[in-house]
Amino acid sequence: MTDLKRAPLPHDFHPEVPAFTVVSDDVSPGSVLKDAQVHSAGNTSPQLRWEGFPPETKSFAVTCFDPDAPTGSGFWHWVVFDIPASVTELPAGAGTGAFDGLPAGAVQARNDYGSKDFGGAAPPAGENHRYVFTVYAVDSEKLGPDADVSPAVVGFNLRFHTIGRAQLIGVYEGPSAS
């Protein structure tokens, strides 16, 4: 395994906000991702549920980010926003391009694979990467951008509209180099 210098998490440079809780039947904190969340295997977004967010929350956004990708800017695996405040759980597979399991009105922006869905873990051979699943409590029903923006634009808008945040981090190591 290659020893990587750990990059900052995606929201380390955002204003501090209250934390709340996100849990998953598919991802355990600090544990290896299941094959279902690996790009070359199941390529399925995990089940996520959250609680304890600020009462003034108007919507949620959910992202999956790999800060350790060898790009200089990390790698966005999933970006979905405008999830109604009444929704506090996404089922496994909600991140498909067919929008099965996403509530009406939710918007999936393109990920760094170039598709508008969840793209699973795919680190280079021998590298152990972190996959940061973040749920953002948002102060407006609509964040503003549309599905054609980059993850950076969504992140820019979240910087100014996030009122609470929860994160869950899994890890995955690329296959050994031969």
Q: Would you place residue 13 in the very low, low, confident or very high pLDDT band (cuts 50, 70, 90)? A: confident
Cα 143 from Cα 135, distance rounded (Å): 14
pLDDT > 90 fraction of the chain, expressed in percent and rounded: 85
Residue type, position 132, single letter: V
Instruction: Using DSSP bridges, classify how beta strands 107-108 and 128-138 pair: parallel, antiparallel or unpaired.
Output: unpaired
Cα 113 from Cα 100, distance rounded (Å): 20
pLDDT of 6: 79
| Total-model pTM | 0.94
How far CA 67 is from CA of 35, 146, 156, 167, in Å, comes to: 20, 24, 16, 13
Could you read off the pLDDT of 109-160 as tens digits, one per residue? 999 999 999 999 999 999 999 999 999 999 999 999 999 999 999 999 999 9
Could you read off the pLDDT of 54-98 as tens digits, one per residue? 999 999 999 999 999 999 899 999 999 999 999 999 999 999 978
Residue 6: how many other CB atoms lie within 10 Å: 10
Q: Would you place residue 100 in the very low, low, confident or very high pLDDT band (cuts 50, 70, 90)? A: confident
What are the beta bridge partners of residue 166? 135
Cα 99 from Cα 96, distance rounded (Å): 6
